[in-house]
Amino acid sequence: MFSKFSIVISSLLLISLVGCGQQKSETIQKAMQYKELTAEEQRVILQKGTEKPFSGKYEKFDEKGTYSCKRCGASLYRSDDKFDAHCGWPSFDDEIKGAVTRTTDADGRRTEITCANCGAHLGHVFLGEGLTEKDTRHCVNSISLEFVPAGSKSKTDTAIFAGGCFWGVEYYLQKSKGVFTVESGYIGGRKDKPTYQEVCSGKTGHLEAVEVVFDPALTDFETLARLFFEIHDPTQADGQGPDRGEQYRSAVFYRTEQQKQITEKLIMLLKGKGYKVVTQLLPATHFWKAEEYHQDYYEHKGSTPYCHGYTKRF
């Protein structure tokens, strides 16, 4: 007969072994999703090597699009942030939010940059050179990158949120990890190509909203939806903060059944916490991009939102 103690120990050992097996299986499965690399790609991407200067295919390259990780496909850089540093390697003065991890080299002299999703070695980042206004240079190996031309189908997803003045919603969502672009615009109304003045009149039925394009390898719809419910007041029915009117209503425009179900779940969670949520859940219709002066409003103005702020609710 086994003692109760030995049975407990045996059970714990079995659970531990099963858990380790599952973890190993998940690790292998994830690794199998990565692109098969050539010997030279492995030398740079996995063994942290460096390609020869002026030899990479993206060093002198100026097409519009996105640069993704050669190993896992996660979006890393936009072509708008690329510049010629005359250093022999592709250079960028900014990265897609949350896409790149910085780690100080063992010698303490340089800062390595790697893909935040899979850890692939990209190159190094340098500050204080005065080459661009952002004073930053991501010096990246071409062999670590894969270029996706503008307009091509890439690994992105889209979410549409309305929560008062689109300036404030845009301000917070575009700072979230994995977000590629956030555009302010109008949705849910009865008129094609509405203007700001027409929407403000309240006669078109449109809401001010933002269209968020994000990288599913770095974030997901639920993460962004949770943030949306925490950067505006989902219990205010007549607008948001001092901005009143139907164009400032709170709403999530779902694009898939999954987005609908996730939003319903989050609303139920908030109601369970005592919040009287009035956020509407509506099927997405055509999203009309707002006038250019509305895009990146607070960034250009150099200020912060006056009617939006972060409040932890989940």
**Predicted confidence band of residue 27 (pLDDT cuts 50, 70, 90):** very low
165 catalytic residue (yes or no): yes
Give the rounded percent of residues in the chain with a pLDDT score beyond 70.
Answer: 89
Q: Is 230 part of a structural domain of the chain? A: yes
The answer to whether residues 62 and 70 touch, using CB atoms and an 8 Å cutoff, is no
Q: How far apart are CA 223 and CA 226, in angstroms?
A: 5
75 and 129 in a common domain: yes
Active site residue 115: no
pLDDT tens for 178-229 read 888 899 999 999 999 999 999 999 999 999 999 999 988 789 999 999 999 9
Residue 153 confidence (pLDDT): 57
Q: Are strands 250-254 and 280-283 parallel, antiparallel or unpaired?
A: parallel
Handedness of CA 178, 162, 210, 189 (dihedral sign): positive
Contact by Cβ (8 Å): 93, 131? yes
Measured at the alpha carbon of residue 177, what is the angle toward residues 256 and 27, in degrees to the nearest 5? Answer: 80
Catalytic residue among 20, 72, 139, 200: 139
Q: Give the containing element (helix H, strand E) for 10.
A: helix 4-32
Catalytic residue among 69, 72, 118, 165: 165
Q: What is the pTM of this model?
A: 0.66
Q: What is the mean pLDDT of the chain?
A: 88
Residue 289: inside a domain: yes
Q: What is the pLDDT of residues 159-179, one digit of tens each?
A: 999 999 999 999 999 999 888
The model's pLDDT over 55-69, given as tens digits with 9 standing for 90+, comes to 999 999 999 999 999
What is the model's pLDDT at position 154?
56
What is the structure's pLDDT at 180? 84
Same structural domain, 191 and 289:
yes
Together in a domain, 59 and 134: yes
CATH of the domain at 63: 2.170.150.20
Boundaries of domain holding 236: 157-301
Q: Tell whether 314 is covered by a domain.
A: no
Partnered with residue 67 across adjacent β-strands are: 77, 147
CA 308 to centroid of chain Cα atoms: 20
Q: Quote the number of domains for the chain.
A: 2
Structure tokens belonging to residue 46: 């996995």
User: Is residue 11 in some structural domain?
Assistant: no
